[in-house]
Amino acid sequence: MLLDKNTKVLVQGLGKDGSFQAKKSIEYGTNVVACVHPNRNGQLFEDKVPYFDTVKDAINKTGANAGVIYVPAPFASDAIIEQIDAGLDLIVCITEGIPVHDMVRVKSYLKGKKSRLIGPNCPGIISPELSIKIGIIPGDICNEGKVGVVSRSGTLTYEAISQIGDAGFGQSLCIGIGGDPIHGTTFIDALEFFEKDKNTEYIVLIGEIGGTKEQQAAEFIRNNVSKPVVFTIAGTTAPKGKRMGHAGAVISGKMGLASEKIKTLKSAGAHHADDPSKIGDTLKKIS
């Protein structure tokens, strides 16, 4: 429902990082059909993927239905809106540091549109079964399996994937939703997908301090999720009022505390890995 064998990806923003990651996606097996970058129309990326000046032109010529954005922060919100206007089904924005007021505009613009946005400030999405990697999640640590992963943290996404493999499991789909205060896809969106997905038997949720997104996820788990959920919350020792890594990871009230998130998720029936290094062990205990 998010990715399938017909997913065709366009890459927007082919600087040093974007070019490196686009090459990695192609090597993983992703069907990258177009690149969008000003003044490169008619050229080829890696001697095979055509460049276009606009997203709309790329879609018209290649049939692309998913896009990934590596555009620098000052221009990234315009790139997201361009992909929304072009009608892409899935948009993944990797860019970090997009101003909050820009994302407020994007979030409002998304209402009523067909596009699903993952990110910004996220590692993206990967499906080992389909060999599709949109973003920066390392493909070599992923294995096909039955565990769905959703995370606010990029590096902890990689840690969880590695532990899941070491524990003898694999991943059905991994989604990094991003650590900014305002983003497209939420924990609830991912949980709803995993609950419906026949290839997912277990769910791993990785949260952080700040905000109430984990509490909202807990309520959804309590009422709508039948599959076992393992969770961990990063930032248990973070001081109040100090931003820790992500723009959304700052405790500004009791509800933003790791302890509150842990209590709420446990009360909803989720299984707590009390240290991020114990995700794999916790998964083995409940399997």
Distances (CA, A) of 28 to 78, 136, 140: 28, 11, 9
Sheet strands side by side (includes 171-176): 132-135, 124-127, 171-176, 144-151, 202-208, 229-234, 271-272
Assess whether the region 9-118 and the region 137-286 belong to the same CATH fold. Answer: yes
CATH of 137-286, one of 3.40.50.360, 1.10.357.10, 3.40.50.261, 1.10.260.40: 3.40.50.261
Tokens 């997908």 label which residue? 193
The two three-digit tokens of residue 125, written as one number: 């999405």
Does 181 sit behind a cis peptide bond, omega within 30 degrees of 0 on the bond before it? no
Q: Which residues contact 112 (CB under 8 A, 6 or more apart)?
A: none
Half-sphere exposure of 41 (CA within 13 A, CB side): 10
Strands 132-135 and 124-127: antiparallel
| pLDDT by position in tens, the chain (length 287) | 689 999 999 999 999 999 999 999 999 999 999 999 988 999 999 999 999 999 999 999 999 999 999 999 999 999 999 999 999 999 999 999 999 999 999 999 999 999 999 999 999 999 999 999 999 999 999 999 999 999 998 889 999 999 999 999 999 999 999 989 899 999 999 999 999 999 999 999 999 988 889 999 999 999 999 999 999 998 665 555 555 555 454 444 566 788 899 999 999 999 999 988 999 999 999 98
Domains of the chain by residue range: 9-118, 137-286
Superfamily of domain 9-118: NAD(P)-binding Rossmann-like Domain (3.40.50.720)
- Catalytic option among 37, 183, 246, 271: 246
What does the pLDDT read at residue 154?
87
Active site residue 246: yes
**Cα–Cα distance for residue pair 6/160, rounded to 1 Å:** 28
What does the pLDDT read at residue 209?
85
Give yes or no for a contact between 180 and 248, defined as CB atoms under 8 angstroms apart: yes
